[in-house]
Chains A and B, each alone.
Chain A
Amino acid sequence: MPTDSTAAAAEWLAAYLDMKLPDDQLLGAVRTTSRVAAGMTARAGALAMEDEPANFTAALERLAGAPK
């Protein structure tokens, strides 16, 4: 379920935790989601062939070393 609106977020929270919150408490998460979504749209093509996130330690190891 998308949570790009407070209405959808409220619905999801009610279904998952049986909990109700006012809009002002939902807004932070909704805005963060929207901003991340906007950033992802620009990078979507670049991500098509990427590894899964579990390889992050390996990525750090590969990128270790002195500056140029």
Chain B
Amino acid sequence: MSGGIADMGLAALARAIARGKVSSLEAATSCLKGLETLGKELNAVAGIDPEAALKAARRADAQRRKSGKRGRLHGVPLAHKDMYYRAGRLSECGAKIRRGYVPDVTATVLKRLDAAGALDVARLNMVEFAMGPTGHNEHTGTPMNPWNKAHVPGGSSSGPGISVAARLAYGSLGSDTGGSIRLPAAFCGLVGIKPTYGLVSRYGAMPLSFSQDHVGPLTRTVEDAGLMLQAIAGHDPDDPTTSAREVPNFLAELEKGAKGRTVAVAEGWFRQGIDAEVAAGMDAAAEVYRRLGAKVARIDVPSLDHVNDMAMLITGAESASYHATWLRERPQDYGAQIRQRIQAGVMYPAARYLEALRLRRHALAWFLDKVLGKADALLAPVLAFPVPTIAETDVGGDHRAFEVVARVARNTRPVNYLGLPAVSVPCGFTRNGLPLGMQLVGRPFAEARLLRLARAYERETGCTSHRPPHCWGG
């Protein structure tokens, strides 16, 4: 069943608003009603200010009529993970410790989306301090997957995954330190981009592991993802880790297809312990690329266990340094699992932490040579098994917590350590009716190439045209 304005993609809505076919007020009203009802039912919403959102929408409409559009996202309602600071507005990071926190700075990415004309209509739920791959949150309750409420939506950008899939927002910023954009994108049937380290500013975003934190969009289509990335990418003097490279036009080659490109299908380490349904899904995706004229090669990916260990160690050490004061003064205010994981970080020796950082360049050069030496993209599963239920992964702070986290983020975490770009794309469904996601991992700053490959797959399969059963506007 079509959902009318709620069912439009971000890019389609932006074009319709620019041409005066629909108003920003209509779109914002639809989102706000959805967020207030279905959004709260699925526990995706951290906070909404409807009056401010509607006022902004009316202003956008008036401005368009008077002087044309402000930018490529003019009047489009977005909503973001509740960890992007906006001066004077609550930002609670899914954490009891941050309740009532009002920052005095605005994140660079929010400023850039504002400059592109987008509306920021809600704060969305997330895993406490962005530290968990399933979506569980002891303080705010665990959000539900719009494809099946008994299943996790993925984390830590749980609210963004749910809200965009359920047609409650047209796009959303997530953050990805070990898979937190790609996992909810895959679990909820969306497109998600973890950009190259240094492409997008983290200034004004809550830090988890500053060496591995990445900011990126979750959207319903590939074009939508490219549009959002275009708006937020580029050097930021407030984040010295950002690259000064010129930002390419991510949409320029979007429709040029996969012909002649090389896709490496990940075997070896990525096939160890993989569920047969997921393996079949990856093979089917590879077949689509072959049909589209891409050169498809199978690659025996060497073990990335050591890469994952170093990523875990860096995340642990950096998060422990950020949280040390609260750990001493308010340990009881953390969820059990989060506290346990942060405490582990305290125990890593400084020398080991620095070694793990210094090995990054070597690991990157090795991976580019061995795995991506002859390929435009590595095609690998985001998750090695079907999306689990909330109950199956509800382990709290007991001894299984590390195992669950390691298992769910196994395929995504190495890419954060290596700093490489990756696009999560839906590629069908498993027998439990939940979406299946693949990731296309590319060479540094190759986002445009990855988006082109993702778009070729999307155009051929219609993979982003499915609506979940719990969906606004139906």
- Mark A residues whose CB is within 8 Å of B: 1-3, 9, 12-13, 16-19, 21, 24-26, 28-30, 32-33, 35-37, 39-40, 43, 46-47, 50-57, 59-61, 63-68
Task: Name the interface residues of B349-363: CB closer than 8 Å to any CB of A.
Answer: 349, 352, 354-362
Given A18-B328, A36-B352, CB of A63 within 8 Å of CB of B196: no
Say what secondary structure dominates the interface of chain A. Answer: helix
A-B contact count (CB 8 A): 139
The interface bits of chain B over 316-346 (1 if a CB of A lies within 8 angstroms of the residue's CB, else 0) are: 1000000010011001000000001001111
Are A60 and B196 in touch, CB under 8 angstroms? yes
Are A61 and B348 in touch, CB under 8 angstroms? no
Find chain B residues with CB under 8 A from A55 CB.
361
A42 (CB) vs chain B CBs: closest residue: B306
Find chain B residues with CB under 8 A from A12 CB.
346-347
Q: How far is the CB of A19 from chain B (nearest CB, A)?
A: 7
A6 (CB) vs chain B CBs: closest residue: B347
Are A57 and B365 in touch, CB under 8 angstroms? no
Residue B373 interfacial (CB < 8 Å): yes
A30 (CB) vs chain B CBs: closest residue: B347
Inter-chain CA distance A50–B376, complex, in Å, is 28
Given A56-B211, A59-B364, CB of A21 within 8 Å of CB of B355: no
A-B contact pairs, 24 of them (CB 8 A): A9-B347, A13-B343, A18-B328, A21-B343, A25-B340, A32-B312, A33-B313, A36-B309, A37-B352, A39-B359, A53-B358, A56-B357, A56-B419, A60-B197, A63-B364, A64-B443, A64-B444, A64-B445, A64-B446, A66-B443, A67-B262, A67-B373, A67-B374, A68-B374
B357 (CB) vs chain A CBs: closest residue: A53
Q: How far is the CB of B145 from chain A (nearest CB, A)?
A: 28
Say what secondary structure dominates the interface of chain B. Answer: helix
Inter-chain CA distance A57–B420, complex, in Å, is 11
Find chain B residues with CB under 8 A from A40 CB.
352, 355, 359
B198 (CB) vs chain A CBs: closest residue: A57
Q: How far is the CB of A7 from chain B (nearest CB, A)?
A: 12
Inter-chain CA distance A20–B373, complex, in Å, is 48
Find chain A residues with CB under 8 A from B101 CB.
none
Residue B411 interfacial (CB < 8 Å): no
Are B361 and A29 in touch, CB under 8 angstroms? no
Ordered nearest first, which 3 A-B pairs have the shortest CB separation?
Answer: A53-B357, A57-B198, A29-B344
Q: How far is the CB of B131 from chain A (nearest CB, A)?
A: 14
Inter-chain CA distance A13–B345, complex, in Å, is 10
Find chain A residues with CB under 8 A from B305 CB.
35
| Of B29-37, B157-165, B240-248, B271-279, the one touching chain A | B240-248
Set B306, B324, B443: member contacting A65, Cβ < 8 A: B443
Inter-chain CA distance A56–B211, complex, in Å, is 9
Find chain A residues with CB under 8 A from B423 CB.
none
A53 (CB) vs chain B CBs: closest residue: B357
Inter-chain CA distance A8–B124, complex, in Å, is 41
Q: How far is the CB of A35 from chain B (nearest CB, A)?
A: 5
Find chain B residues with CB under 8 A from A16 CB.
324, 346
Inter-chain CA distance A34–B444, complex, in Å, is 30
Given A47-B358, A50-B358, CB of A28 within 8 Å of CB of B364: no
Are A39 and B309 in touch, CB under 8 angstroms? yes
Q: How far is the CB of A64 from chain B (nearest CB, A)?
A: 4
Set A19, A32, A68: member contacting B313, Cβ < 8 A: A32
Inter-chain CA distance A57–B375, complex, in Å, is 22
Find chain B residues with CB under 8 A from A28 CB.
344, 402
Q: How far is the CB of A14 from chain B (nearest CB, A)?
A: 11
Residue B56 interfacial (CB < 8 Å): no
Find chain B residues with CB under 8 A from A18 CB.
328
Set B243, B316, B365: member contacting A63, Cβ < 8 A: B365
Q: How far is the CB of A45 from chain B (nearest CB, A)?
A: 12
A41 (CB) vs chain B CBs: closest residue: B355
Q: A24-B399, A43-B362 are in contact. List 11 more A-B contacts (CB 8 A).
A: A9-B347, A13-B347, A25-B344, A32-B313, A33-B348, A33-B349, A36-B310, A39-B359, A59-B360, A64-B443, A68-B374
Find chain A residues with CB under 8 A from B8 CB.
none
The interface bits of chain B over 258-276 (1 if a CB of A lies within 8 angstroms of the residue's CB, else 0) are: 0000100000000000000
Are A33 and B347 in touch, CB under 8 angstroms? yes
Find chain B residues with CB under 8 A from A59 CB.
360-361, 364-365
Find chain A residues with CB under 8 A from B373 CB.
67-68
Inter-chain CA distance A44–B311, complex, in Å, is 18
Residue B368 interfacial (CB < 8 Å): yes
Q: How far is the CB of B301 from chain A (nearest CB, A)?
A: 15
Are A61 and B243 in touch, CB under 8 angstroms? yes
Give the one of B243, B346, B373 with max A CB within 10 A. Answer: B346
Q: How far is the CB of B418 from chain A (nearest CB, A)?
A: 9
A8 (CB) vs chain B CBs: closest residue: B347
Find chain B residues with CB under 8 A from A52 CB.
358
